Amino acid sequence: MVEKRTPIPVMEAIQKVMQFAKSGKKEIVALEEAYGRYLAEDLRADHDVPPFDRSPYDGFAIRAADSAAASLDHPVEFEVIETIGAGQVAEKEVAPFQAVRIMTGAQIPNGCDAVVMFEVANEYERNGKTYMSIKRPFRPGDNISFQGEDTKKGEMLVPKGTFINPGVQALLATFGYANVHVAKKPKVGIFATGSELLDVSEPLVPGKIRNSNAYMIQAQVYRIGALPVYFGKLMDDADRCFAAIENVLDEVDLLITTGGVSVGDYDYLPVIYERLGAEVLFNKVAMRPGSVTTVAQKEGKLLFGLSGNPSACYVGFELFVRPVIRTMLYSAKPYLYKTTATLLADFPKPNPFTRFVRSYVHAKEGRLYVTPVGMDKSNIVTSLAKANAFMVLPGGTRGFSKGDAVEIWLLENEEGSEQ
Amino acid sequence: MVEKRTPIPVMEAIQKVMQFAKSGKKEIVALEEAYGRYLAEDLRADHDVPPFDRSPYDGFAIRAADSAAASLDHPVEFEVIETIGAGQVAEKEVAPFQAVRIMTGAQIPNGCDAVVMFEVANEYERNGKTYMSIKRPFRPGDNISFQGEDTKKGEMLVPKGTFINPGVQALLATFGYANVHVAKKPKVGIFATGSELLDVSEPLVPGKIRNSNAYMIQAQVYRIGALPVYFGKLMDDADRCFAAIENVLDEVDLLITTGGVSVGDYDYLPVIYERLGAEVLFNKVAMRPGSVTTVAQKEGKLLFGLSGNPSACYVGFELFVRPVIRTMLYSAKPYLYKTTATLLADFPKPNPFTRFVRSYVHAKEGRLYVTPVGMDKSNIVTSLAKANAFMVLPGGTRGFSKGDAVEIWLLENEEGSEQ
């Protein structure tokens, strides 16, 4: 009576899903609102940086040649003919043994080719004129930031798909991006299924649990840079589920349901996919938790049937939904950041299937260490709060021991991986 | 003519600032809006998890004792008297050699003490009744998730000050936090100073540069969990600067200015602090970049005078402003996450003062590696976009070589450090 399903390897499942991943749409936002979004176009320099030869210090701009004879015993004197602050341009012509008092960031006056910092100059007045003297020679170019030495006009500075962090924001401002082309946030529809689910504000009653997956998934969607649209709970009734899902499919870029994908009597998603005319890409994955994860597509739109079990739901999102959304956000590295770490506890369970263990990774003296968090029962949620990584134990392996090197996938790293 | 300032060590400067750091205010938000905020109260379990003995699988609930004689040759038969889904409670009394068909998540019926998974049971009908048989014995407790085995009622699960990530969000939902006490976002006022600053939408003109610091700082404020309030640019005019700053001080929790803190002729912040009656905690720090960073306090409210130089401004924010804001957000680890990494390039410059080098850290085979990004001139911004860490080279050291272990402070790690 129970349907037999054939599990496929995790990597194969991810590939099947990623065949339907495509770039998303763009929109233009004001620079003030760009933080936290993803660049939809490469960021290029619209001018040289610095845009002109400028002083990196407060001091005096001079003609270096005039300082050639300066020494401790024989200071060379300069007449200070003008003062310019950042944003000002010198108005006078600088003759031999003349200097311009110059502030940090100001343009080097014509004819000058070195800057003497205040700290090494002796400034004084005589007969109503200002002078300064120095006790060592300067070479042409000393203490000058040259036009274009940081960046040349037209240079590609940051590729599209990059997360706009404070540094990228600074570059956007520097290069005049008052309006920024960013990836439009994909709309991710969410339904929770299960008659056992109570609203968060409802008191507990026998046999029921509160609906945590819907809130968790919404947060996961936000974290990945997309926009969740929660449509509420579906009752365990095939007709109503079908109608509700069909009704919203056009409104979203992809749809997530939690629960209803197992082989239980009230698991209606398989029937619904069939009635929708959606192609089921797989309905069983050789992984723990989340083996019942089911993904279907209808006219290229992906329908993710995640497990109703919180941990399996969480893992299913990060493995299958994340890379699809990040691809829509133009990322060339849509997958979780992968590396290895030293295991800090014995993990004796064998792994008939690839196992994703919620774990905490920390760094010490330049090395990464990983500790499984919680008991790793697939029905508990407390460990999710502490996890910042999955420890990935390949299927077909026996247990692992303290000190073993194991693969880890980081959950809160913005950079990602090409896989 | 130039004021002489005495630099103080970085750690001493941070301590001086942190004397004025205090917990912020609280507010209540709906659970849907809690993602990305910081818990203002400990998160506690309002009930046992699981809240009742439940089935972790789809299968049959039985009395284990009835299965004692089951073997491959002598299957034991059970009459299936009822079916319950998750959220339902069994209505019938289970007599010897009776079973209840039970779905994942459903409460274990009274009298039952084990669950037989579908996969190991043989189900059939006879004379209009449903039966199933098994070929091995089960022990009491087999395949049951016991009440409270994950979490006991009242247990503290997540301490206040924690960033609300998807896992914490799931816990909040599970434990009925329809409304969540979160830290109110501190309001951070921002002024940019400098007549050389153009608006982002203005074309470049000789001697001037676009205002990037204001946008960068706003993004840094967002990243750290606070609310930026940008008041615009101040011209290089002491009276207008003073009036503008005095005018907004009551509206914000702390105030940041960029530029105007050096010893240049147009650096008015020192005068303004004096006219405000603010106490200057320090005006020179033994660090590069950012040595001119100045911090003052008036009646306990902090005024951060960051350098106008983008890199120095960035560093000053992360070192001095970040821990103050994170303390307001109740974090016990308000500082940047610290560890060490292997240097991947020679860094021959000596370090008369503690140097914060914008760097890129990556992990490979369980080890961390760090590469300085860009040329590390203090007036360039491109390197900020690629940096995810500061490499921290102590003052008084000579250069460092490829392969050396160096201290790193991570910029995008939510966890932080106790210092």
Mean pLDDT of A348-364: 93
Phi, psi (rounded to 5 degrees) for B308:
-80, -15
Average pLDDT, chain A: 92
Contact A195 B86 (CB under 8 A): yes
On the question of pLDDT at B377 being above 60, the answer is no
Enumerate residues 6+ apart whose C-beta is below 8 A from A299.
Answer: none
Query: What percentage of residues in chain B have a pLDDT greater than 70?
Result: 96
Residue ranges in A249-307 assigned as alpha helix (H): 269-276
Phi, psi (rounded to 5 degrees) for B313:
-65, -45
Is residue A3 a part of any domain in this protein? no
* B103 and B84 in a common domain: yes
CATH of the domain at A66: 2.170.190.11
Is residue B251 a part of any domain in this protein? yes
Residue from the list B31, B196, B386 with its beta carbon closest to the beta carbon of A215 = B31
Q: Kindly provide the residue ranges of all beta strands, DSSP E only, lying in A135-174, ordered along the sequence.
A: 156-158
Phi-psi region of B311 (alpha: psi -120 to 50; beta: other; left: phi over 0): alpha
Contact B170 A50 (CB under 8 A): no
Rounded (5°) CA angle B153-B154-B158: 110
As given in the structure block, the two tokens for residue B185 are: 């976002």
Cα distances (angstroms) measured from residue A35 to each of A155, A184, A331, B166: 22, 13, 16, 20
On the question of pLDDT at A380 being above 70, the answer is no
Hey, how many other C-beta atoms are within 10 angstroms of the C-beta on B30? 11
Q: Kindly provide the residue ranges of all beta strands, DSSP E only, lying in A175-243, ordered along the sequence.
A: 179-183, 187-193, 197-198, 209-210, 227-234
- Cα radius of gyration rounded to whole Å, chain A: 31
Q: Which of A284, A301, A328 is the last residue of a domain?
A: A328
Residue from the list A165, A209, A218 with its beta carbon closest to the beta carbon of B32 = A218
Residue from the list B1, B210, B364 with its beta carbon closest to the beta carbon of A176 = B210
pLDDT on residue B220: 97
Residue ranges in A163-227 assigned as alpha helix (H): 166-174, 213-224
| Distance between CA atoms of residues B415 and A206, nearest Å | 38
| Distance between CA atoms of residues B195 and B210, nearest Å | 11
DSSP state of B15: H
Contact B340 A36 (CB under 8 A): no
Is residue B173 a part of any domain in this protein? yes
Query: Which tens digit of pLDDT belongs to each residue from A154-177?
Result: 989 899 999 999 999 999 999 999
Contact B222 A36 (CB under 8 A): yes
On the question of pLDDT at B120 being above 70, the answer is yes
**Chain A residues with beta carbon closer than 8 angstroms to that of B217:** 166
Phi-psi region of A351 (alpha: psi -120 to 50; beta: other; left: phi over 0): beta
CATH of the domain at B387: 2.40.340.10
On the question of pLDDT at B416 being above 60, the answer is yes
| Distance between CA atoms of residues B336 and B53, nearest Å | 43
Q: What is the dihedral of CA A9, A15, A16, A21, to 10 degrees?
A: 150
**Chain B residues with beta carbon closer than 8 angstroms to that of A382:** 49, 150-151, 157, 171
Instruction: Give just the sign of the alpha carbon dihedral A2, A315, A359, A386.
Output: negative
Instruction: Describe the crossing of helices A166-174 and B213-224 by its angle, rounded to 10 degrees.
Output: 160
Q: Which of A263, A294, A328 is the last residue of a domain?
A: A328
The answer to whether A105 and B194 have CB atoms below 8 angstroms apart is yes
Phi, psi (rounded to 5 degrees) for A205:
-130, 160
**Chain B residues with beta carbon closer than 8 angstroms to that of A387:** 167
pLDDT on residue A67: 97
Contact B381 A149 (CB under 8 A): no
Is residue A150 a part of any domain in this protein? no
| Distance between CA atoms of residues A165 and B224, nearest Å | 11
pLDDT on residue B381: 58
Instruction: Describe the crossing of helices B166-174 and A213-224 by its angle, rounded to 10 degrees.
Output: 160
pLDDT range class, residue A85, cuts 50, 70, 90: confident
On the question of pLDDT at A236 being above 90, the answer is no
* B379 and B254 in a common domain: no
Mutation for testing the B interface, residue in A150, A190, A336 having most B CBs under 10 Å: A150
**Chain B residues with beta carbon closer than 8 angstroms to that of A340:** 365-366
* B41 and B71 in a common domain: no
Phi, psi (rounded to 5 degrees) for A2:
-90, 130
Q: Kindly provide the residue ranges of all beta strands, DSSP E only, lying in B251-384, ordered along the sequence.
A: 254-258, 279-282, 287-288, 294-298, 301-306, 337-343, 354-364, 367-372
Residue ranges in A183-302 assigned as alpha helix (H): 213-224, 238-248, 269-276
Hey, how many other C-beta atoms are within 10 angstroms of the C-beta on A286? 18
CATH of the domain at A162: 3.90.105.10
pLDDT on residue B378: 43
**Chain A residues with beta carbon closer than 8 angstroms to that of B154:** none
Of A197, A183, A193, A319, nearest in space to A258 by CA: A193
Query: Which tens digit of pLDDT belongs to each residue from B125-171?
Result: 999 999 999 999 999 999 999 998 888 899 898 999 999 999 999 99
HSE of B273, CA atoms in CB hemisphere, 13 A: 24
pLDDT range class, residue A50, cuts 50, 70, 90: confident
* B322 and B292 in a common domain: yes
On the question of pLDDT at A376 being above 60, the answer is no
Of A169, A147, A179, A180, nearest in space to A52 by CA: A147
pLDDT on residue A49: 83
Is residue B1 a part of any domain in this protein? no
Enumerate residues 6+ apart whose C-beta is below 8 A from B379.
Answer: A50, A54, A56, A105, A145, A150, B309, B310, B311
Structural domains in chain A (count): 4
Query: Which of B268 and B168 is assigned the larger pLDDT?
Result: B168
On the question of pLDDT at B374 being above 80, the answer is no
Cα distances (angstroms) measured from residue A412 to each of A138, A140, A183, A387: 50, 49, 20, 10
- Cα radius of gyration rounded to whole Å, chain B: 31
* A222 and A130 in a common domain: no
Of A140, A50, A55, nearest in space to A89 by CA: A55
**Chain B residues with beta carbon closer than 8 angstroms to that of A206:** 52, 89, 107
pLDDT range class, residue A28, cuts 50, 70, 90: very high
Contact A339 B364 (CB under 8 A): yes
Query: Which tens digit of pLDDT belongs to each residue from B195-242?
Result: 788 999 998 888 788 899 999 999 999 999 999 999 999 876 788 889
**Chain A residues with beta carbon closer than 8 angstroms to that of B268:** none
Enumerate residues 6+ apart whose C-beta is below 8 A from B386.
Answer: A167, B358, B360, B373, B374
| Distance between CA atoms of residues B304 and B280, nearest Å | 10
Query: Which tens digit of pLDDT belongs to each residue from A300-321?
Result: 999 999 998 888 999 999 999 9
**Chain A residues with beta carbon closer than 8 angstroms to that of B87:** 194-197, 207-208, 236
DSSP state of A65: G
Contact A150 B215 (CB under 8 A): no
Q: Which of B280, B297, B328 is the last residue of a domain?
A: B328
* B171 and B105 in a common domain: no
Is residue A307 a part of any domain in this protein? yes
On the question of pLDDT at A371 being above 60, the answer is yes
Contact A88 B206 (CB under 8 A): no
* B191 and B167 in a common domain: no
* B197 and B165 in a common domain: no
Transcribe A4-21 into DSSP letters.
Answer: P---B-HHHHHHHHHTT-
Is residue A147 a part of any domain in this protein? no
DSSP state of A199: P
CATH of the domain at B207: 3.40.980.10
Rounded (5°) CA angle A208-A372-B50: 15
* A190 and A169 in a common domain: no
Q: How many CB pairs under 8 A join A and B?
A: 351
Query: Which of A234 and A207 is assigned the larger pLDDT?
Result: A234
Query: Tokens 């994955």 map to which residue?
Result: A285
Contact A85 B236 (CB under 8 A): yes
Phi-psi region of A260 (alpha: psi -120 to 50; beta: other; left: phi over 0): left
Kind of pairing between the strands at A367-372 and A405-410: unpaired
As given in the structure block, the two tokens for residue B44 are: 């506690």
**Chain B residues with beta carbon closer than 8 angstroms to that of A165:** 219, 223, 385, 412
| Distance between CA atoms of residues B62 and B114, nearest Å | 6
Transcribe A84-107 into DSSP letters.
Answer: E-TT----S---TTEEEEE-TTPB
* A102 and A130 in a common domain: yes
Distance from CA of B217 to the nearest CA of A (A): 7
Is residue B416 a part of any domain in this protein? no
Cα distances (angstroms) measured from residue A90 to each of A67, A122, A277, B235: 21, 22, 74, 19
Distance from CA of B41 to the nearest CA of A (A): 15
A122-126, strands of its sheet edge to edge? A114-117, A59-62, A98-102, A76-84, A129-134, A122-126
Q: How buried is residue B188: exposed, middle or buried, by Cβ count under 10 Å (0-12/13-18/19+)?
A: buried
* B179 and B189 in a common domain: no
As given in the structure block, the two tokens for residue B56 are: 């972790």
Query: Tokens 């941990």 map to which residue?
Result: A311
pLDDT on residue B87: 80
pLDDT on residue A255: 98
Q: Kindly provide the residue ranges of all beta strands, DSSP E only, lying in A17-97, ordered along the sequence.
A: 26-30, 43-44, 59-62, 76-84
DSSP state of B387: -
Q: Which domain holds residue B88?
A: 59-134
* A404 and A316 in a common domain: no
